[in-house]
Amino acid sequence: VAEALHLLHERGIVHLDVKPDNIYVKDGVYKLGDFGCATLKDGSIQIEEGDARYMPLEILNDKHEHLDRVDIFSLGASIYELVKGSPLPASGSHFLALREGKLSLLPGYSLQFQNLLK
């Protein structure tokens, strides 16, 4: 999925809706789907935001610089949710903490891996 995002970003496209529901697996191969929110990285086309649970504060506050970083944040949030095994919060203090990269520890995973998610 990271390779797919890299390929998109090299071509000036951002996905803007990276989340577990849009990551498909077939025969052990992970694929990124649902490009309904995709747009040009330069922000020259109107932006349609994806699921707020996977968006950084900047995009939620209508700051649209560095849109490729939004996809990277969303990928990290998706991995965190999948590893944690429970849905990310849609609002409240835990929602805001995740937007700031303040993650609760994941027992059984190295600090290096957990820092990568941040």
Rounded-to-integer distance, Cα 19 and Cα 79, Å: 9
Q: Is 93 helix (H, G, I), strand (E, B) or coil?
A: helix
Radius of gyration for the chain, computed over Cα atoms and rounded to the nearest angstrom: 14
Catalytic residue, from 17, 21, 34, 62: name it.
17
Catalytic: 17?
yes
Q: How far apart are the first and last CA of the chain?
A: 17
Number of other CB atoms surrounding residue 23 within 10 Å: 18
Residues 99, 103, 109, 113: is their CA dihedral positive or negative?
A: positive
Q: Which residues are catalytic?
A: 17
